Amino acid sequence: MPHIELIHVSKRWGNFVAVDDLNMVIDDRSFVILLGPSGCGKTTTLRMIAGLETPTQGKITIDGVTVFDAETGINLSAAKRDIGFLFQNYALWPHMTVFQNISFGLENLKWSKQAIKERVAEMLKVLKITQFADRYPSELSGGQQQRVAIARTLAPKPKVLFMDEPLSNLDAKLRSEMRTELKRLHADTNSTFVYVTHDQLEAMTLATQVCLMKDGLLQQYDPPLTVYGRPNNLFVADFVGNPTMNFIDSLAEQLPDGSIRLKCLGLQARFIPNSPCSLTSSRTILGIRPEYLTISDTGKIDATVYSALPSGMETTVKIRLHEQLLSSVVFGAKDFPVDHPIKCSIDGDAICLFDADSTACVAMGRIEMLG
């Protein structure tokens, strides 16, 4: 099965470590998104796999073929790695029609005239741009130009398609449309996509696997809903999700039955882990996604509304609890007056408990309020 493997891959410039000992397997036909804040090493990682940047250490294989190995000196050029690129700047040839832009690369690869005609027609259809075949790039919108660039990249049937922030030049509406198209395209073409973005929503909605990095170090490599629901550490929990997860400092004491007594925000609670865990520190941080902090008349926690932001489909309510502001998401068109007293509860069994020192997520579980 063709897949990409990165084994102990690092990139250093002088003493600066841009990518630190990265191990990762990119499965055939997956849609892997390299995600993380600016400067975390996403583009460097993509460029090393693509053959545009030479790693300092490690080994990379594509489809079982070693394309880079620091020990043996193997380093296949990008042209020999059977890959396609799509970057922020689509770089279409302005003097060529859409048809010519797509066929140009195939001519260079010495495809027959008939094969080129058929392949370009197929690509025009998949990208829904058949009607623009005879237009020049300047006669197309940004989104249409982008689809031409994708068609051109996919036409030679690369094993892997690399994309570096390909939607960042588009307006919000077009970006959202193109996300749908990209996801559909991935399903229709059976290609492997490796994609760089710093937009967590883009990663969550498109990826089959998210590779979240920080300071050159891999933080988590999992399907998006696992990254969201079972974050490895505080950084991951905070980076993914909007509104962000609520973090509450808490003092923890593990009881003989395995449950954990928590003191936080002047309240006492019991945390019941979903699976056995052992706390190494009493300094913990409780992590609650906004959808699990529920406003309801039966809630046992007294709070007040700090502000409410209704957006129609849902309302984000900022709740004031013991001088800390927490976010709750209420579904439906509801509004809440400022300083309004409310009751809330912490629901579900996807509450995270982090070790405040190591920042690792040490347990997932549910909360019972005491007293």
Residues making contact with ligand ATP (CB under 6 A): 13, 16, 18, 36, 38-44, 198
SS3 state at 337:
coil
> Phi first, then psi: what are they for 253, rounded to 5°?
-140, 120
> Which CB sits closer to ligand ATP, 19 or 293?
19
> Which CB sits closer to ligand ATP, 42 or 175?
42
What is the separation, in whole angstroms, between the first and last Cα of the chain?
Answer: 57
Residue linked to tokens 């970006």: 175
Q: Are 159 and 80 in contact (CB under 8 A)?
A: no
Strands 267-273 and 361-370: antiparallel
Q: Nearest distance from residue 34's CB to ligand ATP, in Å?
A: 8
Q: Nearest distance from residue 35's CB to ligand ATP, in Å?
A: 9
> Which CB sits closer to ligand ATP, 15 or 278?
15
Q: Nearest distance from residue 40's CB to ligand ATP, in Å?
A: 4
> Which CB sits closer to ligand ATP, 75 or 130?
75
> Which CB sits closer to ligand ATP, 88 or 180?
88
Cα dist from 120 to 106, 133, 142, 270, whole Å: 9, 9, 20, 62
- Kindly give, in sequence order, each residue whose CB lies less than 8 Å from that of residue 199, ignoring residues fewer than 6 positions away: none
Q: Nearest distance from residue 98's CB to ligand ATP, in Å?
A: 29
Burial class (CB in 10 A: 0-12, 13-18, 19+), 28: middle
Q: Nearest distance from residue 14's CB to ligand ATP, in Å?
A: 8
